Amino acid sequence: MKYEIRFSGSGGQGVITASVILGAAAALHDGKNVIQSQSYGPEARGGATKADVIISDAKIRYPKARHIDYLVSLTQKAAVKFIKTLKKGGVVIIDSDFVDLPDSPDHRIYRLPMTSSSIAKFNRTTTLNVIALGAFAEVAGLVSADAVKKAVLDNSPAGFEEMNIASLDMGRELARAAKKN
């Protein structure tokens, strides 16, 4: 099985970090083949940042994401831009405090209030990317919970471990709540 995941948002929201962590979780802790990449063209300065992860049981022949299975978008601009790259039957996870997309028979949308939940609990939004990672991990179930947790801890600066794990859990909880609806 092979899956393509695209994290997107604006610069500074940490979508690259979320992708690096996801890639490390799947590769180093779950033993998958992974390619994690960011490709910057002339549009990169326009404010819609993306970072891709390909996770596969087999060797990955073509290293570029082309048929996205899971799209995570933290800004409207990124959501509108990259929804076109989602394959039919794909899944979208958005921060519903800032993003909305119309319902479509072609994909399922998880609308999660990430920013407002983060402000309510942490009084800040600096770990929005980790919340999004937790939401993705819960929705997709592609990577073991233990692997994701280990990779988050490996990538946490000293003193930020607890905050990051709490953010990961918050993302999972938001996804679980949305799954019930």
Say if residues 51 and 71 touch (Cβ distance below 8 Å). no
Nearest approach, Cβ of residue 51 and a copy of itself (Å): 9
Structure token digits, residue 121 = 């609990």
Residues 20-79 that bind a copy of itself (CB under 8 A): 20, 23-24, 27-28, 31-42, 44-45, 59-60, 63-64
Residue 144: in which H helix or E strand, if any? none
How far apart (Å, rounded) are the C-alpha atoms in residues 49 and 70? Answer: 16
C-alpha pair distances (Å), 24 with each of 6, 10, 120: 15, 22, 30
> With respect to a copy of itself, which residue has the nearer C-beta, 158 or 181?
158
Q: Segment contacting a copy of itself (CB under 8 A): 18-26, 95-103, 107-115, 133-141?
A: 18-26
> With respect to a copy of itself, which residue has the nearer C-beta, 63 or 89?
63
Using CB under 8 A as the binding rule, whether residue 160 contacts a copy of itself is answered as: yes
Using CB under 8 A as the binding rule, whether residue 148 contacts a copy of itself is answered as: no
Site string for a copy of itself, 97-136 (x = CB under 8 A): ----------------------------------------
Terminal Cα distance for the chain, rounded: 28
Using CB under 8 A as the binding rule, whether residue 89 contacts a copy of itself is answered as: no
Residue 61 CB burial class (10 angstroms; 0-12, 13-18, ≥19) = exposed
Strand duo 49-56 + 2-9: pairing: antiparallel
Of 166, 175, 143, residue with least CA distance to 22: 143
Q: Segment contacting a copy of itself (CB under 8 A): 16-24, 70-78, 103-111, 167-175?
A: 16-24
> With respect to a copy of itself, which residue has the nearer C-beta, 34 or 175?
34
Say if residues 127 and 118 touch (Cβ distance below 8 Å). yes
> With respect to a copy of itself, which residue has the nearer C-beta, 58 or 141?
58
Say if residues 82 and 145 touch (Cβ distance below 8 Å). no
What residues line the site for a copy of itself (CB under 8 A)?
11-12, 16, 20, 23-24, 27-28, 31-42, 44-45, 59-60, 63-64, 154, 157, 160
